[in-house]
Structure 1
Amino acid sequence: MRRAVLTGPGRFEIEEVARPAPAPDEVLVRVAACGVCSSELAGFAGDAGDYPRFIGHEVSGTVVEAGPEVTTLGPGDPVGCWVTSHGYAEFVTVKAAWCFPAGGVPLDEALAEPLACAVNAVEETDVRLGDDVVLIGAGFMGNLVQALVGLRGPRQLIVADTRPDALARAATLGATRVVDVRSESLAAVVAEETGGRGADVTFEATGSQGALDVVGETTRMSGKLVLVGFHQGAARRINLAHWNWMAFGIVNAHYRDVDAIMRGMSVGMRLLTAGRLSLAPLVSHRFPLDRVNEAFETARAKPEGFVKAVVTM
């Protein structure tokens, strides 16, 4: 079988290896797609980790073989799953407990692991009916959070970004107001839309210093700040004196506990297979395995219309 190995900064190579065999509690999955996660871009750029590296964790595919202890899945079952490495490959072994039924969802849209991140962020925050919500960042994760918040019934859902195409997409996904922060003050818009009170919840989904600079200016006293963005590179600054005074509740929406990840995947895939959620408008770029380098370059460049890249087999 073929798999991609990151051999150095900006360089994947395709190698031929034997197909793996599942352990007793595992299944062998024929990979349909593996999503390119923003958390992997630093390694691709040479900013993190040693080489060679076998990255890729947002896998979907079809079970072709099950270990003897597996009773929940069998050959032919379509699944979305989380693997810890080697996702950019034609086949991968994964614990059966880390796989969830994909039903009739197109497999290149059955990305269970990023769904889990967004589900856990929204559930941990406990967005309530009638809340005023601000979302800074209308990329892939921001779009997922927006869709899930929409299911919670907010009063206002204000989305901010710097990209006109991203803001247009946020509007089609149901934002009550979009804000281009290059030309408008987000804090002023939120004050106007909430009668000067501020948002009950502000989600930061960019991973940038600029978003951290403004979240405290959009959120009401004792409101919640939710860190969804993946912050890499230089250390960040926050106005802690202001955050203390405002008594903000801080939610770090990054989860390393496997049980929490599995819970989020289960909920996300239930919503996806029931048609309550769709990734169809969000998976914007598809690349075959031999163009994996191009997939990562595109994810870094984010050309107009870009939301999410997947590598397909």
Structure 2
Amino acid sequence: MKAAVFRGIGQIEVTDVPVPEPGSGEVLIRVACCGICGSDLEAFQTGMYEPGLIIGHEFAGTIVETGPGVAGWSVGDRVVVGDLIPCGQCRACRIGNLVACENIYMIGVTHDGGMAEYVKAPAVGLHRLPEGVSMRQGALVEPLTVALHGVRRSRLKPGDQAVVMGAGPIGLLTLQCVRLAGARSIIVTEVDPTRAALAARLGATAVLNPLEDNLSVSLSEMTDGLGPDVIFICTGAPEPFSEAISLVCKGGQIFLLGLPIQPVEADFFSVVMGELSIEGSLAGWAEFPAAIDLIAQGRVDVEALISHEIPLDEGLPEWFNRLSAPGSGAVKVLAWME
């Protein structure tokens, strides 16, 4: 089968590998399509994956084989897979902190992923796609769970004023989840004009360009001089992490959904004096059913994020290089296996 294999920093190779065989409690999935994730790009730039790993955790497909001990799933079922699958046995799992599982199965990170024609996965991590939700929508379920989990964990309340820094896929999905949560205003910051326009179309109250607009002045004017109640940082760039401390209101919250790939300097004196809250969020294991429902009900538009679709074996490494540079003009790139 064809698969996208991480070979090292700056190296993604589409090559032939054996079709995996599902073991006990596992299924084999014929992948329809898989998205390129920001964490895949960070691995491409920093080498945080092990060489030889098949990448990809934003995918949807159809079960073609079930291993021993699998119940409740059949050949032909259309599914997505939770990217972080907890063991259910360790201390973190026992106290309900599933994302902190000590033995977590991370598909496309610790185990081979779905940027391939076939992938095997634990049946416990499967979620069924209902009729009416397409495979291309299914590939966006996982990033939606990230945004939904973050907004649910945040202190955002109906009527609050929010800022979303970064209008990449996670930022645009966070914007939609913040809107559903009842925010009074949602201001998005973004430098890329394509992404900025999409943020406006998806419900942003205003969109600011941090390279052209004075964020401190603009946000103060837009929030009656108070500052936003919650700032969601949805970018890996280091600047927003330090800037947000001076922008959020007294007693406000800075919520981190982006993964900084560089060290970040922060004014913790202002954090203490302003009684600010800083919190992070990794992934949404428990949010998969809700995310699928939001897509099925048309309450979150995931297809709007899909800017480019390519065959797996045509130009994938070049897209990793393109997406790693500023001004790619892309939002979400889907690779198709069929």
Q: Which amino acid aligns with 1:229?
A: G
Deviations 1:196-221 (A, max 9, x none): 11111111111222112321122111
Comparing 47-56 with 185-194, greater Cα deviation is found at 47-56
**Contact 1:134-1:203 within 8 A present in 2 as well:** yes
Q: How many Å separate the matches in 1 of 2:14 and 2:6?
A: 9
- How far did 1:98 drift? 1.3
* Cα offsets for 1:83-136 (capped at 9, x unmatched): 243322101111122121222222122133222211110000042110100111
Residues 1:172 and 2:195 aligned together:
no
Query: Aligned letter for 2:119?
Result: V
Give the Cα–Cα distance (whole angstroms) in 1 for the partners of residues 118 and 69 of structure 2. Answer: 20
For structure 1, the 5+ residue unaligned runs are 256-260
2:88 matched to which residue of 1?
A: none
Matched, 1:249 2:277: yes
Alignment partner, residue 299 of structure 1: 323
Tell me, in whole angstroms, the C-alpha distance in 2 between the residues paired with 1:107 and 1:294.
24
| Contact 1:299–1:308 under 8 Å retained in 2 | no
Change (3 A) 1:42 1:152: closer
Per the TM alignment, residue 46 of structure 1 is displaced from its structure 2 partner at its CA by 5.2
Give the number of aligned pairs: 307
Which letter does structure 2 place at the counterpart of 1:130?
G
Q: What percent identity do the matched residue pairs reach?
A: 33
- Match for residue 247 of structure 2 among 211, 218, 227: 218
Which residue does the alignment assign to 1:18?
Answer: 18
**2:36 is the alignment partner of 1:36:** yes
State the partner residue of 1:97.
Answer: 124
Q: CA RMSD in A?
A: 1.8
Number of the residue aligned with 1:272:
295
SS in 1 for 2:157: coil
Distance 1:117 1:154 in 2: 19
Letter in 2 for 1:274: Q
- Indicate the residue corresponding to 2:286 in structure 1: 263
Deviation at 1:68, TM superposition (A): 3.8
2:185 alignment partner in structure 1: 156
* Local SS of the residue matching 1:241: helix
Q: 1:14 to 1:183 in 2, by over 3 A?
A: closer
Equivalent in the alignment of 1:119? 148
How far residue 49 of structure 1 moved from its aligned partner, in angstroms, is 4.6
Cα contact 1:199–1:219 (8 A) shared by 2: yes
Task: Give the match's secondary structure for 2:251.
Answer: strand
Equivalent-residue separation in structure 2 for 1:229 and 1:42 (angstroms): 11
The one of 195, 217, 232 aligned to 1:188? 217
Question: What amino acid sits opposite 1:294 in the alignment?
Answer: E
**Residue 50 of structure 1, CA deviation:** 4.7
Moved more, 161-170 or 8-17: 8-17
TM-score by structure 2 length?
Answer: 0.85
Deviation at 1:61, TM superposition (A): 0.8
Structure 2: distance between partners of 1:275 and 1:80: 18
Aligned residue type for 1:80: V
**In 1, are the aligned partners of 2:6 and 2:50 still within 8 Å (CA)?**
no
Give 1:36 deviation, angstroms.
Answer: 1.0
| CA drift at 1:301 | 2.9
Question: Which residue does 1:239 correspond to in 2?
Answer: 267
Say whether 1:109 aligns with 2:137.
yes
SS in structure 1 opposite 2:303? coil
CA distance in 2, matches of 1:224, 1:8: 37
Q: Is the 8 A contact 2:136 2:303 kept in 1?
A: no
SS at match of 1:117: helix
8 Å CA contact 1:36–1:299 kept in 2: the answer is no
User: How far is 1:239 from its partner?
Assistant: 0.6
Name 2:62's counterpart in structure 1. 62
Name stretches of at least 5 consecutive residues in structure 2 with no aligned partner: 84-106
Match of 2:53 in 1: 53
Aligned-pair CA distance for 1:160: 0.9
Q: 1:150 to 1:300 in 2, by over 3 A?
A: same
Q: CA deviation at 1:280?
A: 0.8
Q: 2:144 & 2:55 partners in 1: Cα distance? A: 18
Superposition deviation, residue 302 in structure 1: 5.3
C-alpha distance in 2 between matches for 1:4 and 1:166: 27
Query: In the alignment, which residue of structure 2 is the partner of 1:227?
Result: 256
Could you tell me which residue of structure 2 aligns to residue 258 of structure 1? none
Distance (whole Å) between structure 2 residues aligned to residue 168 and residue 308 of structure 1 = 15
Aligned to 2:334: 310
